[in-house]
């Protein structure tokens, strides 16, 4: 039964996984762009904000065949890390162009929230 726990949640799960991939890609692109820009202070701040949500998003994608408890725990971590990253990036203001990362972070946080609510 654990292998098909998501059968009634296909739309929510698909949205969550799609948003997780988009988030990871956007975070990784922003990390690369600030590294290329060379401002060490901004690099550290962006890395501190984005490494966790990018990594958790990548792991979440790979957890589809695992027990629901593990997937939901990853969703909770992803939601919280993404929300935190939004706050941290917004605090950087114009020092960094987060125009792609911010919507991606918000989207994955929202879709994780939706999946968690649908299961609960």
Render each residue's pLDDT in the chain as its tens digit; 120 residues. Answer: 344 556 678 899 999 999 999 999 999 999 999 999 889 999 999 999 999 999 999 999 998 888 888 999 999 999 999 999 999 999 999 999 999 999 999 999 999 999 999 987
How far is the C-alpha of 24 from the C-alpha of 59, rounded, in Å?
10
Helix, strand, coil shares of the chain, percent, nearest 5, are 85, 0, 15
Helices (H), 63-100: 68-92
CATH, residue 55: 1.20.1270
Domain holding 19, by residue range, is 7-119
The verdict on residue 83 lying in a domain is yes
Instruction: Tell which residue, 64, 49, 50, has the closest CA to residue 18.
Output: 64
Q: Give the number of domains in the chain.
A: 1
The verdict on residue 97 lying in a domain is yes
How far is the C-alpha of 36 from the C-alpha of 61, rounded, in Å?
28
């Amino acid at each position: 039964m654990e292998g098909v726990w998501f059968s009634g949640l296909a739309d929510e799960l698909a949205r969550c996984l799609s948003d997780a991939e988009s988030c990871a890609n956007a975070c990784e692109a922003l990390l690369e762009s600030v590294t290329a820009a060379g401002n060490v202070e901004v690099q550290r701040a962006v890395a501190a904000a984005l490494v966790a949500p990018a990594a958790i998003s990548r792991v979440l994608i790979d957890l589809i065949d695992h027990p629901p408890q593990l997937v939901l725990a990853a969703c909770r971590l992803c939601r919280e890390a993404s929300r935190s990253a939004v706050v941290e990036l917004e605090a950087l203001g114009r020092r960094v162009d987060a125009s792609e990362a911010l919507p991606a972070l918000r989207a994955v946080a929202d879709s994780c929230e939706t999946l968690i609510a649908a299961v609960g």
